[in-house]
Amino acid sequence: MMKFKAPIFDIKNLDFRVKSQKILSNVSLEIFQSEYIAIIGPNGGGKTTLIRMLLGLDKPTSGDIRIFGKKIKNFKEWHKIGYVPQRASHVDSSFPATVLDIVKMGRTSQRPLFGSFSDEDEKHVHDSMTKMDVLHLQDKMVGTLSGGQRQRVMIARALASSPEILILDEPNTGVDMVSQNRFYALLRKLNKDDGITIVFITHDIGVIADDIGRLFTINEKATICNNPKQILSCDEMSELYGREAHLLHMHKHEH
């Protein structure tokens, strides 16, 4: 028997206005279990705003959001949603926390306040550091790490709550190409082996990994593309970014 599975996120006709400025207009999209999707659009296009509304951090002017089939106001299982905010890894070099401290923070939301860390908590922390290949760094101060290492630590923190979906807002800023490719390989593994849904947000069309199954573009309005390779070469891209970005991307394909 086929069992109906509600999408993780079901967003309908979302509007967000600040005073008279339209930030998002009539945005509808669904994000399904085990997908690997990208949300792209120019700076200021409303990507972060959209994500903040999905996480209940901002309230839309109008529209509906359902998470795992529940209206957002009734949804409580936030540990199922892993979130790495934009610039999360831009910590001060004197930030007084080790890698282990940071990853443990990802676990605290599920524990009673001031409750002690259980064996299960320890296991999740250990496993997520292993998955993101930062276990050997656990006693290092986070401020001393490279951009690529910090990026992996922030994701390990999000993984510590055993989320079903991982939302990464511009995770690739300040990270070199070698780290980037390694990072994509880790994300691919999370998606393929652990079935974690990945939402990869970026303004940079040059960093879209081949793994992406679907693509949303956001520039006040949203469009959906089920064949990312197609949209990256079509006119909609120049509409979204202007002619220069389009040419830049064409150029990339000539290599």
Ligand X SMILES: Nc1ncnc2c1ncn2[C@@H]1O[C@H](COP(=O)(O)OP(=O)(O)O)[C@@H](O)[C@H]1O
Decide if residue 45 touches ligand X (CB under 6 A).
yes
Complex with ligand X: residue 99 or 222, whichever CB lies closer: 222
From the CB of 117, what's the least distance to ligand X, in Å? 35
**Which CB sits closer to ligand X, 81 or 201?**
201
Partner that binds at residue 46, options Mg ion, ligand X, none, CB closer than 5 to 8 Å by kind: ligand X
Q: Which does 226 bind (CB under 5 to 8 A by kind): Mg ion, ligand X, none?
A: none
Tokens of 222: 């949203």
Total number of residues that touch ligand X (CB under 6 A): 10
Q: How far is the CB of 115 from Mg ion (least distance, A)?
A: 34
> Could you count the other beta carbons within 10 Å of the beta carbon of residue 144?
14
How would you list the strands of the sheet with 81-84, edge to edge?
Answer: 81-84, 165-169, 197-202, 36-40, 214-219, 221-225
70-71, strands of its sheet edge to edge? 21-31, 9-18, 62-67, 70-71
Would you say 47 or 150 has its CB closer to Mg ion? 47
Contacting positions for Mg ion (CB under 5 A):
47-48, 86
Residues 3-32 that bind ligand X (CB under 6 A): 18, 23
Answer for which of 1, 2, 20, 43 binds ligand X (CB under 6 A) is 43
Binding region for ligand X (CB under 6 A) out of 46-54, 73-81, 125-133, 179-187: 46-54
Does 222 participate in binding ligand X (rule CB under 6 A)? no
C-alpha–C-alpha distance, residues 11 and 44, integer Å: 20
Site membership for ligand X, residue 49 (CB under 6 A): yes
Q: Which is nearer to ligand X, 154 or 222 (CB)?
A: 222
Distance CA 145, CA 162 (A): 24
Where do contacts with ligand X occur on this chain (CB under 6 A)? 18, 23, 41, 43-49
